[in-house]
Structure 1
C-alpha cells in the first residue's frame, strides 16, 4: 500500500510538472510578494522606531525628573524594564531597516537606502547611549548568539554610515512622499538630519575624544553644510487624532485615560513657576485649582510628586495634575494661578478664568475640549541643535556666539510649543512674551560666570527636552547638569546605563555564563563617552 501511494504521488507530480504552463505559479503569490515593496517597508521602519523609542523615553523622563513616577524615578530597574524596546529593535526595526538597505541597493533606489542608513545610525547611536555595548556587527544574520560590540567602535562605524547615506543621496533621491513619515521625501531635510546627527554625536564624545569632537563640529559649522536650522525642519514624529486605530501620542493615551499615567514632577513645576516661565501652562494641566501635594485641598492645583516618592497612590484620579498640551496634545491650562503676583510678567493670569480651566474634562474623554492627542515626539530639533552649538561654543572654542545660540534655542522651543498649542485648540504664546522671556535669559547669561553660563544652557535645554527624556539623560551623564532634586526614597544608585533585556541574557549563550555581573554593571558603569 505504501508503494502504491508513493507511485500515485509521483504520477500526480509528473502531471503537474507537465501542465505547469496551464496553472498560476504558486511560488509567485501576488498577494504576498517575495520582493519587498520599499515604499511600504520604509514607513514601517519609521513607525517601529518611534514605537519602541517611546518605551526607553519613559525611562529617561523618569530618571531625569520630567516625571515623578515609575521605577526609574527611584533609580530602580530590572531585566524587564526595557525588554519590549530591546526585543522590538532587534526583531522588528533593525531587520526591516537592513532589508530596505539590502533590497534598495539591489534596486538602486538610493533615496530609500540613504534614509534607512540614517535611521540605522540614529537608532544604534541611541542604543549605545542607553545600553553601552550592544550587538551590532552580528545583530542581523544566522548567529543566534551575537556578541556585544564596544560602544566606541559602533560610534566610529556610525559616523561612516552617515557619510555613506549622504553619498547615496547624491546618486539619486526619489522617494514617494507618502512613504516617508518624517520628511515626506525631502532630500534637503534628510541631509539636515544627517549632519545634525553627526553634530550631536560629536558633542557626545567631547570628553573622551576632544580632538575628534572639536574638529568634527568646527568642520560642520565652517563648511556651511545643511543643519536643522528651522522648526519646520525638525526630525520629529507627528501624532494624529485617530482613536481606532490609535494614532494619538502615547502620553496622551496614558495620562488622559483612567490610569492617569503617573505624577508630574514637582522639580519641573517649581522651576517653571519660580522662573516666570510661560511654558508651565503648556506643560502641566491642573484638574483642580485647589488641590496640593498628597491630595490636600490647600494648594493651587499642581498635584504631583517629589522625585523618588514611592508612596502608594490615594484615590486621586480626578485631582492629579496631568501632562498638558505640550508635547502630548493634551490640554492647555488657562485657569488662575493664585500665587502669581505683579512680579510675574511672562507667566501671569492675563486672560485666565477663575476655575482651574475652561476646557471640559471628564472620563471618558469627550469629543471636544479635551485635547486631541496630536502631539509630537521631538528627536532632533532646531532647538536641540542650537543648544548643542551653544554648549560646544562654551566648551570647545568653536568661535560661535554662545549667548545668541542660547537665545535662538529658547526662542525656537517657545515657538514650537506655541505652534503645537495652536494646532490643538490651545492658546498660542504672544510674540512679546517670547521676546521678553528670551531677552531676560540673555541678560542672565551675560551676568553669569563661566560655570553659570554652562548651567543656564543645560538647564534651559533640560526644560526644552520635556518630551525627550533620552537626550536629557545623555546630557546629564555628560555634564552633570541640570541640578536634579534629591530623591525621597532611592532604591539604588543613579543608573549610568539601562539594564539589558533579561531574555537576551538568558538566551544568548555568549552572555549566559556572566549574565549577573553583566547586568549589575549596567547600573554602575559609564558608557564610553561619559567621563
Structure 2
C-alpha cells in the first residue's frame, strides 16, 4: 500500500497551493540546504493533504452521485463496480493524504505546533469517516507502521474517530498558530475549525443512531448544550475551486461538462423531482444546450436531455445537445430559457423573465457579459445547511428537543443563500425563497412523523446535489428519499464500494480471500445501517 509515489492532483487549485508555498519564509530559515529539507515542514504538508483529500474525493463522489441518482453517469449508474472503479481514489487517500497527515501529527507534536496537529487530526477523522462510510472495514491502526496493514472493523474505527476529534479540540486549546497560506479550507481560523470539529462529531453521532440510539442521543444532547457548530455559510467546511485553466483549477464537473467531450448525462430524476416540487433550483442545477432536445437525442423535448438511472444504451452523437451541469455547484451557466411544460400552477419555478430560444441568451450573456460560467465552483463537505438537516433529523428520530420544522426552514434557506452567493447575476428573489419555504413548512406541519421524515430527507437530497456521498449515506441509513427503479441494472444495490484491485492483490492480509471480500462489499451493509 505504501509503495506508490506521492503526487498532488493538478485538477484542483494547485495555483493556490503554489502561492501558499511562496509565502512560507520559514522554509529557508530552517534548513541549511533549502532544496533538500531534512525535517518535514508541517506548514507545507498541510495544504498538500487538503488538495489530496479534495482531488480524490471527486472520484468517490461521482460514484455516489450515480447511486443516489443525482447524476446518470458511470458504472454505478447501473450498480456495477469492479476493483478498478475506485482504484484512483483509494490509492490517492492512502498514499497522498493519509501519510502526510500522520507526518504532520507526529512532527507537529514533537515541535508543539498544535494548530497543525489539530487540523491534521480533524482532517484524518473526516477522511476516515468517508472511507468507513463507503468501504466499511479499512486499514486504519497500522497504516503508518505496517506494509500490509490489517483491515480494521468500521465500528471500531468510528469510535477512534470520536476520540480523535476530542484530541483535536484539546490541541486547539494548547496553541493555534497556523499560517493562513497553509490552510486552504479556513485560512488558519481557529474558531472555524472548532465549529467544524463539533459539526463533524454531530455528523458521526447521527450516522450511528441506528446502532445505539441512546448513545447517539446523549452525545448529541451534550453537543447541543456545549458545542459551537457551523451556524453560518461563512463557516462552511467546503473547498472553493478557481477559474484558471493552466493549471486547471476549475470544478471537475465544470471542466468535464463544458469540454468538447462532455462527461456523462444529467439525471432526469433531478429534473422530474424539482419540477414536481415547483423548485426554482432546477434552473441553477442543469443548463440546457438545445431547446428541443429530448430523451434519446430526439428533437421533441424541451432541452432536458439526460438519462434515467440504469440506462445502459450506447451514446449517440449527442455532445452538442445533452443538458450539462449548471451554475450550482460547478459555477457553470444559469438557465434562463423558457421551459414550455410549466403552467400557471408553477409559482416558483416559472417562466417569468425567461427568454425564447431556450438557454441561448443565458449562454451568451452569462458566459461573456455577466461573468458566470467560470468553473469557480464549490465542493461542500460539512455546511451550515447540512448541520441544520442533521439537527432536524435528530429532533425527529432521537427526541433531542429542537424544533425540526424551524431547522428545516433554516437548512433550505441556507442552501438558497449559497446558490445566490454564486449567482450574482440571477439570484433567487427573497420573495420566491420565502414563499417556497412557507409552502414547504405548511406541508411539513400537516404531515405525520413518517411524512415529516420524507419531506426532510427529500429536501436534503435536493440540497446535497454536488455531494452524492452524503445522499448515498442518507439512503442507506434512512431509506429516504426512495430511489427510482433502474432501467437495466447489472447488479443489486451496492451497500459498499469495491476495494482497489491493487490493494486486493498486494496486501497479504486479504490476498487469499479477495474475490469473496469484493463480493461481500456489494451485498453487506456498513455497520451503522439499521
TM-score range, shorter chain: over 0.9
Counterpart in the other structure of 1:195: 198
> What is the alpha-carbon distance in structure 1 between the residues aligned to residue 50 and residue 351 of structure 2?
41
TM alignment of 1:127-526, pairs within 5 A? 127-141=131-145, 143-223=146-226, 225-357=227-359, 358-360=361-363, 371-422=373-424, 426-526=425-525
Counterpart in the other structure of 1:70: 74
Q: Compute the displacement of 1:368 (Å).
A: 8.1
Q: Deviations over 1:496-522 (max 9, x none)?
A: 000000110101111011111111000
Q: Deviations over 1:445-466 (max 9, x none)?
A: 0111211100000010001000
2:254–2:375 Cα contact (<8 Å) kept: yes
Q: Compute the displacement of 1:366 (Å).
A: 7.5
Give secondary structure in 1 for the equivalent of 2:521. helix
> What is the alpha-carbon distance in structure 2 between the residues aligned to residue 161 and residue 260 of structure 1?
41
Counterpart in the other structure of 1:101: 105
1:287–1:319 Cα contact (<8 Å) kept: yes
Q: Deviations over 1:186-230 (max 9, x none)?
A: 11100000000000000000001112111011111122x210011
Counterpart in the other structure of 1:116: 120
Question: Considering only aligned residues, what root-mean-square deviation do their CA atoms show, in Å?
Answer: 1.4
Change (3 A) 1:361 1:522: farther
Counterpart in the other structure of 2:13: none
Q: Which runs of 4+ in 1 moved over 4 A?
A: 365-370
Q: Deviations over 1:165-193 (max 9, x none)?
A: 00000001111111111011111100000
Counterpart in the other structure of 1:36: 40
Q: Compute the displacement of 1:30 (Å).
A: 2.3
> What is the alpha-carbon distance in structure 1 between the residues aligned to residue 523 and residue 368 of structure 2?
46
> What is the alpha-carbon distance in structure 2 between the residues aligned to residue 321 and residue 168 of structure 1?
48
> What is the alpha-carbon distance in structure 2 between the residues aligned to residue 265 and residue 447 of structure 1?
30
Structure 1: tracts of 5 or more residues without a match:
1-26
Q: Compute the displacement of 1:297 (Å).
A: 1.1
1:188–1:226 Cα contact (<8 Å) kept: no
Give secondary structure in 2 for the equivalent of 1:319. coil
Q: Compute the displacement of 1:427 (Å).
A: 0.7
Give secondary structure in 2 for the equivalent of 1:378. strand
Q: Compute the displacement of 1:378 (Å).
A: 0.3
> What is the alpha-carbon distance in structure 2 between the residues aligned to residue 437 and residue 248 of structure 1?
31
1:328–1:373 Cα contact (<8 Å) kept: yes
> What is the alpha-carbon distance in structure 2 between the residues aligned to residue 406 and residue 67 of structure 1?
25
Change (3 A) 1:452 1:188: same
Give secondary structure in 2 for the equivalent of 1:483. coil
> What is the alpha-carbon distance in structure 1 between the residues aligned to residue 312 and residue 362 of structure 2?
31
> What is the alpha-carbon distance in structure 1 between the residues aligned to residue 164 and residue 175 of structure 2?
17
Counterpart in the other structure of 2:57: 53
Counterpart in the other structure of 2:26: none
Q: Which moved more, 1:236-245 or 1:340-349?
A: 340-349
> What is the alpha-carbon distance in structure 2 between the residues aligned to residue 418 and residue 367 of structure 1?
18
Give secondary structure in 1 for the equivalent of 2:381. strand
Give secondary structure in 2 for the equivalent of 1:359. helix
Task: Give the TM-score taking structure 2 as reference length.
Answer: 0.92
Q: Compute the displacement of 1:359 (Å).
A: 3.3
Q: Deviations over 1:90-135 (max 9, x none)?
A: 1110001111111111111110000000000000011000000000
Give secondary structure in 2 for the equivalent of 1:207. coil
Change (3 A) 1:380 1:460: same
> What is the alpha-carbon distance in structure 2 between the residues aligned to residue 370 and residue 396 of structure 1?
42
1:306–1:488 Cα contact (<8 Å) kept: yes
1:276–1:347 Cα contact (<8 Å) kept: yes
> What is the alpha-carbon distance in structure 1 between the residues aligned to residue 318 and residue 387 of structure 2?
39
> What is the alpha-carbon distance in structure 2 between the residues aligned to residue 30 and residue 410 of structure 1?
50
Q: Compute the displacement of 1:436 (Å).
A: 0.7
> What is the alpha-carbon distance in structure 2 between the residues aligned to residue 353 and residue 299 of structure 1?
17
Size of the aligned set, in residue pairs, is 498
Q: Compute the displacement of 1:361 (Å).
A: 6.2
1:64–1:473 Cα contact (<8 Å) kept: yes
Q: Compute the displacement of 1:406 (Å).
A: 0.7
2:294–2:305 Cα contact (<8 Å) kept: yes
2:327–2:372 Cα contact (<8 Å) kept: no
